[in-house]
Structure 1
Amino acid sequence: MSRTHGARTRRAVLTAVVLAASLAVPTAGCTQRGRDDDRAPRQTATPTAPPRPTSSAPAAGSPLAVKIDNVPAARPQTGLGAADVVYAEQVEGGLSRLMAVYATRLPATVGPVRSARESDLELLQQFHRPTLAFSGAQHRLLPLIDKAPLRAESADRAPAAYYRGIGRAAPHNLYLHPGKLLPSAPGRAALTTGFSYGPAPSGGTATHARTVRYPAARFTFTWSAERHGWLVAMDGTPTVTTDGGRPAPATVVVQYVKIRGSRYHDVLGNPTPYTETVGSGKAEVLRDGRTFDASWSRPAATDGTTFTTQDGSRMDFADGQVWVVFAPAP
């Protein structure tokens, strides 16, 4: 064995050991100014103490966005079925994480909640001062979150809204009570995503299932005529929730975007991926058991994302939940 090959092998083994340890060992309590990005108060019951005062109240017509853990140790999740839009993004190590956006209804509980990323700030600029619920963030990212046009409500800033569930090790057991951050659901008008809804266009390709792969994660969407939606599976396992059975979004979007390294790194020195959601590119829209080739456009961060068919017509989505999977552009 060459010295180079041996060094690579030792590094791979060390990486696997560190990752395994990070999943097995509970983390400490959260601090906005700590080194870790996923630490939060160690609680086993719903907190009753009043939250600390925040900088301002939620704006009228502003949705709630929650960063949700998506590794196997975090499943089954809670509250996914109530989201209007679920975004799936690639994170460190080729794994995935979700951001669920709530506007038409607020579930009693959402989680497990995890940390924010820099590209979340760009994605969320399409909404009017949304509330972002997250467990924490890398300390160098916190100043950017504070300056972003959103209401940041981490577990450190609003401890009364979060609690630690029983039966799972931290950091995969932090949950949110949305009703403690928003007095009520803001309504459909808060979904300034740029999406349009209506009948399906003509054409398309009959599709039974579609899989999107990241280096260490994958999503599969299987058409269910009975549910009139796409049953979700993650890493080959059917996705279920603790409060609503299997999610079956009416529309799934595979949006091809540039995924590059950012200026941030994880504890192993691996760069945090940055998902570019401003610009234009190709997409696939799955609805009504068919796949439609489409194009997407978002000229500025404050704009929503519009989708058009191959002939330039508006690409309408089916009524109901939408999942958007950001896939690396070829």
Structure 2
Amino acid sequence: MATVRRRRGARGRRATTAALLAAAVTAAVAAGCTAADGPGDDGRGSPKESKQGASPSATGPSALVVKIDNAAVARPHTGVDAADVVYAEQVEGGLSRLMAVYATRLPETVGPVRSARESDLELLRQFDRPTLAFSGAQKKLLPLIDKAPLRAATPGNAADAYFRGPGNAPHNLYLRPERIVPKTPGEAALTTGFHYGAAPAGGTATNSRTVRYPGARFTFTWSDSRDRWLVGMDGTPATTADGERMTAPTVVVQYVKVRESAFRDFLGHNTPYTETVGSGTAQVLRDGRAWDVNWKREKATDGTAFTTGDGTPVNFAKGPVWVVFAKAP
């Protein structure tokens, strides 16, 4: 009899544990929380309804910015090829994440969407109250996001704009941009400070350029036939979800200070902070050539100026720009 009671008690405890686990998973998905993808993720929280709201209509069109998962299991990406600017940054564990900026085109779908980081807030100050779409953030970071001059659009306050696609969470969360930015912002929303036009004189013929993080790398290979740089990630050609190769007319390798932030992921790894205000050196790639240039951004609300040694602005080729932040030597 005692044995029967012990068995029933064990079954009851297992049932209770299973029920609690199922409830926790359901709540996490409903809140748009991100789960760990190894040592490179701390996005376990999901912000409450932003005090600033998610609608971009209050002050006119503003850029849409989406945090993009760049783990190998999250590829191929959807909608990244439609971005006007793609920023690549280092995150925990030496891995990488993308930030895609949309102004002149809004794709039907973007993703997979992932969590925000502290240094994103400094980078985004160059835009006029942008809409930031992301899946969550560390709990201690959420108050800073709420106070930042941006509109947070998350599964918590814009649930109908997000959906789960094929694959495993958290690498399968996608955004329908038109549900949070119903109108294409337009070129005026791109307050990056970038100049476009004819290539500067000089430069060095360059076929390929690789930027390495401790746990990730980006390679850009020039294609004469396409007049663009072919994007590669971690030794593999980067393609879109429909099989098209990802390309960029202009690539900027910007050398910046990467330091420890005040935040750590749930495994205890420190979150790198990428400083984008200040000055330093960079390399601009376009037309199969490379130019060693200087960059300067005096304050967070400014765009970034790229100039030659004599102070002449460096023109980018018309079209999408990839900016890869690399740790300054």
Cα distance in 2 for partners of 1:281, 1:27 equals 45
Percentage of matched positions with identical amino acids? 66
Contact 1:249 1:320 in 2 (8 A): yes
Aligned length: 295
Aligned to 1:126: 126
Contact 2:33 2:135 in 1 (8 A): no
Aligned to 1:12: none
Equivalent position SS for 1:122: helix
Aligned to 2:67: 67
Q: Residue 100 of structure 2 aligns to which amino acid in structure 1?
A: A
What's the CA shift string for 1:274-301, capped at 9, x where partnerless? Answer: 0000000000000000000000000000
Answering whether residue 249 of structure 2 is matched by residue 250 of structure 1, we say yes
Aligned to 1:46: none
Written as runs of structure 1 = structure 2, the 5 A alignment for 1:250-289 is: 250-289=249-288
Larger Cα-atom Rg:
2
Stretches of structure 2 that go unaligned for 5 or more consecutive residues are 1-24, 36-41
Stretches of structure 1 that go unaligned for 5 or more consecutive residues are 1-24, 41-50
Cα distance in 2 for partners of 1:303, 1:157 equals 29
Cα distance in 2 for partners of 1:292, 1:311 equals 13
Answering whether residue 298 of structure 2 is matched by residue 292 of structure 1, we say no
Equivalent position SS for 2:169: coil
What's the CA shift string for 1:303-330, capped at 9, x where partnerless? Answer: 0000001232110100000000000000
Contact 2:135 2:155 in 1 (8 A): yes
Cα distance in 2 for partners of 1:159, 1:204 equals 48
User: Structure 1 segments of 4 or more deviating over 3 A?
Assistant: 25-28, 30-36, 51-54
Aligned to 2:145: 145
Contact 2:126 2:301 in 1 (8 A): yes
Answering whether residue 189 of structure 2 is matched by residue 190 of structure 1, we say yes
Equivalent position SS for 2:140: coil
Aligned to 1:214: 213
CA RMSD of aligned residues (A): 2.2
Aligned to 1:76: 76
Go from structure 1 to structure 2 and tell me whether the alpha carbon gap of 1:114 and 1:27 turns closer, same or farther (over 3 Å shift).
Answer: farther
Q: Residue 37 of structure 1 aligns to which amino acid in structure 2?
A: G
Written as runs of structure 1 = structure 2, the 5 A alignment for 1:1-330 is: 28-31=28-31, 37-38=43-44, 55=53, 57-58=55-56, 59-166=59-166, 168-243=167-242, 245-330=244-329
Equivalent position SS for 2:300: coil
Cα distance in 1 for partners of 2:119, 2:309 equals 28
Cα distance in 1 for partners of 2:192, 2:150 equals 15
Go from structure 1 to structure 2 and tell me whether the alpha carbon gap of 1:34 and 1:83 turns closer, same or farther (over 3 Å shift).
Answer: closer
Contact 2:257 2:275 in 1 (8 A): yes
